[in-house]
Amino acid sequence: MTAPFKQWTVLPHGKLTRVNERIVTVVGDLKMPLLHLPRRMTVVRLKTGELAIFSAIALQDPDMAELEALGRPAFLIVPSERHRLDAPGYAQRYPNITVVAPRAGAEKIREVVRVDTSAPDFGDPAVRYVEVVADSALEVDGDDGLTIIVNDLIGDIHGESGLGGWLLRVMGFAGEEAHVPGPVKLTLGKHKGEVAQQFRRWAERDDLRRIIVSHGDTIMADPRGVLRTLAASLD
């Protein structure tokens, strides 16, 4: 795990990409020993005009200006203790931002950044924070249906080549289809059933349009079926 940055540190990343009328994402590249790990930040515009930032990535100044043009960054969601890398920089850049973290990971997250709450009130019933064991997710109702934003519980890295791609597959972080990464599955232990139940609850929503993941491609094709398959893999 890369140590969290104490100051604003920009790593390679792409451009902000609009998903629908209230969601934008940006994909960055995290260089690790022998491999590169794709990572995604997702930003949700609340009905207040403010922004909820999920799994933050420090961006170049022009891209930060583009982000700020969408609204004031009001909530910083640190989805798990493994996603603290850029949290200190965001807390420094936006001192009034509300830092959100899951209860099960809050102690570790507090080592690098303050935690204000594990039960945020976004002032928007269409955006809901969900704590899943020691990880986090967002449910976002939009004009085109429901978007689920998850962190490490679901990965969809595929098509990676070379030694790095081989290592990602061997370590269980990449595969041909969406999956619960092997190392994540190991850490769930007795809580696998809770995660499976949450997957099935999401799969009941007939308006589910997509699942945005922190690592890998957004799941657009049959997201309800994908969730049911992932739930069965945890039984």
- How far apart are the C-alpha atoms of 226 and 159, rounded to whole Å? 18
* DSSP code of residue 216: B
Residue 88 confidence (pLDDT): 96
pLDDT of residue 161: 59
Angstrom distance (rounded) from CA 219 to CA 212:
6
In this predicted structure, what is the pLDDT of residue 235?
87
Instruction: Provide the pLDDT confidence category of residue 184 given band limits of 50, 70 and 90.
Output: confident
Q: What is the pLDDT of residues 81-123, one digit of tens each?
A: 989 999 999 999 999 999 999 999 899 999 999 999 999 999 9
Encoded tokens for 84: 């603290």
Q: How many Å apart are CA 178 and CA 217, to the nearest integer?
A: 9
What distance in Å separates the CA atoms of residue 29 and residue 194, rounded to the nearest whole number? 31
Residue of higher predicted confidence among 170 and 111: 111
Average pLDDT over all residues of the chain: 91
Q: Are 89 and 97 in contact (CB under 8 A)?
A: no
Residue 163 structure tokens = 């030694």
The pLDDT of residue 157 = 75
* Exposed / middle / buried, residue 82 (Cβ in 10 Å: 0-12, 13-18, 19+): buried
The architecture that CATH gives domain 17-234 is 4-Layer Sandwich (3.60)
Domain boundaries, the chain: 17-234
Average pLDDT (173-186) is 80
Using the predicted structure, report yes or no on whether residue 173 has a pLDDT greater than 90: no
Q: pLDDT class for 3, splitting at 50, 70, 90? A: confident
